[in-house]
Structure 1
């Protein structure tokens, strides 16, 4: 099969450019609505689109094995609830960097739980990645807060979802896994909104109340940016999936680190948000660790399913 690395790089970078843009507008959504309402309505928008695409492609969305897909969807959805919650409260570059610690955790879990062998270069990648985490968290200057650790927790859950995609759901299609993910996000959003409707809490105004805010009367702005988020995620992920289809996964995974760059770029352009030097160094270390881990896989071909699934089924 032809290995079209340059074309794949262009597709992946374009996908990351779109995702970086839409994720920056979560703070606009968070200013008036809650995370639970957002995910419920976003899923209600995305699922019909996916059903239509599946019908046009002659594919079904029902999984071959329901329980593994549900379990994988649980971890993926939990990761994304934390990720989007953090987007409302923290600089997007730091949040994305936390999520992109996933390859490090995938490697550690694969070695410790499944007994996979890792070489010295990938061990160095793990060390480099954790150094990047410590630099971003500035552990030498400030005491760690639970909020500062949340993006890393999202990365850990994201990693379990990646492993589950390969080991539990190897025979499932990307559309099926995406549908399961959105279904769980919608169910989680509905449960959260109902709980806060029955047991309301006082939520701060603005983005700070994103996680605690119950159901509110949504405005046209909320519907517009939620729809943009849903469509942008689907289009961005479709481009990344196509990149993985036309080139070797271990090389394509390197270009996925472009999301870190584009997230910071859009934050600068849209909001004037300038990352600190320590944050930039930490992001570079995490991106370098992910690149090293991807390129130094002992069996590059074995990475295709979980890397493609990471792009196509988790990052939504």
Structure 2
């Protein structure tokens, strides 16, 4: 098989793409708070893909872009990892405040560093070890475990962070040269697959995880459309940014969602963070930035 051509690096455009993506994600992901009251995360995945996939195909047709991957196995692996990460992240939004779910998801750089040290055997140095400690402390400040410890649902987004980290690394390595629309379509189709399997394995409950299929979605139908259209734009920008920028550089700008997201959640739903929560987010941003800059060095 002929190797796909390397994607040229465009650091400034990649940074702008990531900033734009995080503003979009921080705005639309808060709508899941309302969606979670009506349907399951599995139905949400299926409906969103049903709307987004035809849009991707239409865009590819207009632009003359190729949807067929160069490396099927690499794109499939990336798609499944990111879809699984989103299942953990979105599923948690039905049970924990938005800022807590985001904090858990953004343990991803910490996991990347730990994988580098313990799986790949790379030296990480004292600065990044301190950064891991700061990041972990920040997560605890946001989650604020009580006398009974952490609620299990608060730990779920951290599993998403592990999977998201793996998918982000694969985007720049195994999927270098793949089309943005190709990987975008793969991710949405993988989420739909998760949705079908999730509905088959659950159902009969009355929460975001265990609900069966419902047709009474008129109250949140407009949010599904918003999710389909703007998540397509946002995730597309994320993929483009990781393809055209060094992961260590792009990741720094990805942390702006920890500002956009909680701000929107506070304005729209009154989910205000206390001083400790704000300090925790600052710690997570600091840790991620330190890790990214030291990795870049």
Under a length normalisation based on structure 2, what TM-score does the superposition of the two structures give? 0.88
TM superposition shift of 1:221 = 3.1
Mapped partners of 1:11, 1:172: distance in 2: 18
SS state at 2:68 partner: coil
2:37 counterpart residue number: 31
Mapped partners of 1:266, 1:86: distance in 2: 18
2:156 counterpart residue number: 150
Mapped partners of 1:66, 1:218: distance in 2: 37
Gaps of 5+ in 1: 300-316
Q: Once structures 1 and 2 are overlaid, which stretch shifts more, 64-73 or 42-51?
A: 64-73
Kindly report which structure 2 residues correspond to 1:1-316, keeping only aligned pairs within 5 A, or say none. Answer: 5=12, 9-139=15-145, 141-196=147-202, 200-201=203-204, 203-204=205-206, 209-240=207-238, 250-298=248-296
What is the total number of aligned residue pairs between the two structures?
A: 290
- The superposition leaves residues 274-297 of structure 1 with CA deviations (integer Å, 9 ceiling, x where unpaired) of 112222221111111111111112
Q: Once structures 1 and 2 are overlaid, which stretch shifts more, 287-296 or 161-170?
A: 161-170
Gaps of 5+ in 2: 1-7
1:309 counterpart residue number: none
Q: 1:110/1:246 Cα in 2 relative to 1: closer, same or farther (>3 Å)?
A: closer
Under a length normalisation based on structure 1, what TM-score does the superposition of the two structures give? 0.83
Task: Indicate the RMSD between aligned Cα atoms, in angstroms.
Answer: 2.4
Mapped partners of 1:113, 1:166: distance in 2: 19
Q: Contact 1:40–1:190 at 8 Å: present in 2 too?
A: yes
Mapped partners of 2:276, 2:109: distance in 1: 21
1:307 counterpart residue number: none
